[in-house]
Amino acid sequence: MDDLSPDYDALPIGEARARIEPMSSHKRGRWAISLAFLGNGAAIASWVSRIPEIRHEHGLTEGQLGLALLGMAVGSLLGFPVAAAMCARIGNRSSTVLLGVLLCLVLGAIPFAGSLSGLVAILACFGFAYGGMDVAMNANGVDVEHRYGRSIMSSLHGMYSLGGLLGSSAGWLIAKLGIAPTTHLIGASLFLATMMALLYPAMWHENPTGHANHPTFAMPSKSLWAIGAIVTCAFLCEGAMGDWSGVYLRDGLKTSAEFAVSGFMVYSLMMTVARFSGDALMTRWGASRVLRTAGTISGTGFAIALFSGHPILALIGFGCVGLGMSTVAPIGFGAAGRSRQMAPGTAIAAVATMGYSGFLVGPPLIGFLAEWITLRWALGVVAILSLVIAGLAKNAEG
């Protein structure tokens, strides 16, 4: 045994148990919140993978699809303050599980929307649960990271990306087998809701009373506006990839439904691989250099996807976007947490609100913009935003 390791056999039983049990509970808590991130990504990817078919089933124009996505955005924005209040009152563990189960159950209701107004209403509920769960599970992740004693947020976001990869891959396979979106989404709903409920006993549980009197919202300090802009640009790019890459491949490049799903699948694969190596890149190069490289790679990927005119090259371009965007959000949240001008939790919440607003509001705006200048040029605007990340990179240094 290492000389620095405690000899548990020589300790009183109570003291030895006190030293061992927290470590095991932290490990269980990390795996539980990791699976919550994975389930969240799988749920949203399951919906995203069937957007092209659901759009055609309902006969929606790009503007009408944008309106439906706007319903999801509004629901998510309403979910942020509710989730913050839930975390303060019942803790982020209970909030994560409750909102996660709700998210999964509403997923199964999406195919039953009988009209555009019905789809807007269901997606508003879906967005409410999705946005609320994002707030709660990130709060739990920060709590576990603090007790773990080292960075784990990049790997947690990697688990979200892995969930997106698994969800989109399943969607591709199910679409290729000719299984209807209704059967697919109901099955995914029941499986993921059960998984979320089973995570509850293993998740790290904090005492919420210490946070009950803290403000739910706070305006970011001046130094956080640039960090918030970086995260907003990154999340807007991610939202565009999720909601519009499949539509672009199917309608813009005239591919099959199953090939259209592969755009988000390739994007998710590259993002997943890169996020699990994000901590090592940060240690070696630093935040500013990583962000400059990330923004450049993403912008180049968009250019390849949008202007090559070939489906395979478009997939390569979307893969580059995933590679570039992979580290941006974890770096942004880390920089916010290191801010000395605001409490870490308040700073992270402010930046997260800005970022998720871009993720949720951006895709509907792309739909409306596509009505004017075509979807290709609307996504070109997003490519420009990815270059803004490179320009603001110096603000992320601690």
189-205: pLDDT as tens digits: 999 999 999 999 999 87
Residue 209 CA: distances (Å) to CA of 87, 171, 212, 284, 323: 10, 42, 5, 39, 40
Boundary residue ending a domain (181, 216, 251): 216
**219 is written with which tokens?**
């305006």
Instruction: Give the mean pLDDT of 96-112.
Output: 95
pLDDT-based confidence at residue 262 (cuts at 50, 70, 90): confident
**Is the pLDDT reported for residue 153 higher than 50?**
yes
Residue 208 and residue 185 share a domain: yes
Residue 311 and residue 203 share a domain: no
Residue 29 and residue 150 share a domain: yes
Domain encompassing residue 175: 25-216
High-pLDDT (> 90) share of the chain, %: 35
* pLDDT tens digits along 44-87: 999 988 888 888 888 888 888 888 988 998 898 888 778 878 88
Cα–Cα nearest to 386, from 314, 302, 304: 302
Say what the pLDDT of residue 170 is.
92
Q: How many CB atoms lie within 10 A of CB 195?
A: 17
Say what the pLDDT of residue 16 is.
40
**Is the pLDDT reported for residue 2 higher than 50?**
no
Residue 225 and residue 212 share a domain: no
Q: Contact, 45 vs 168, CB < 8 A? A: yes
Residue 133 and residue 152 share a domain: yes
Q: Crossing angle, helix 116-148 and helix 153-176, to 10 degrees?
A: 140
**Is the pLDDT reported for residue 207 higher than 50?**
yes
**5 is written with which tokens?**
């390791």
Residue 293 and residue 208 share a domain: no
Residue 300 and residue 261 share a domain: yes
Say what the pLDDT of residue 346 is.
62
- CATH of residue 305: 1.20.1250.20
Residue 147 and residue 41 share a domain: yes
Cα–Cα nearest to 113, from 41, 190, 177, 185: 185
Residue 222 and residue 211 share a domain: no
How many domains, the chain?
2
Instruction: Give the mean pLDDT of 284-289.
Output: 84
Please state which of the ranges 11-25, 75-89, 173-187 shows the lowest mean pLDDT.
Answer: 11-25
Sequence-ordered list of residues with C-beta below 8 angstroms from that of 381, at least 6 positions apart, any chain: 366, 369
Give the residue carrying structure tokens 């409306």. 368
Cα–Cα nearest to 127, from 82, 87, 81, 74: 74
Q: Contact, 359 vs 237, CB < 8 A? A: no
Say what the pLDDT of residue 13 is.
40
Residue 222 and residue 141 share a domain: no
Q: Contact, 319 vs 266, CB < 8 A? A: yes
Q: Contact, 358 vs 235, CB < 8 A? A: yes
Residue 216 burial by CB count (10 A; 0-12/13-18/19+): exposed, middle or buried?
middle
Residue 259 and residue 368 share a domain: yes
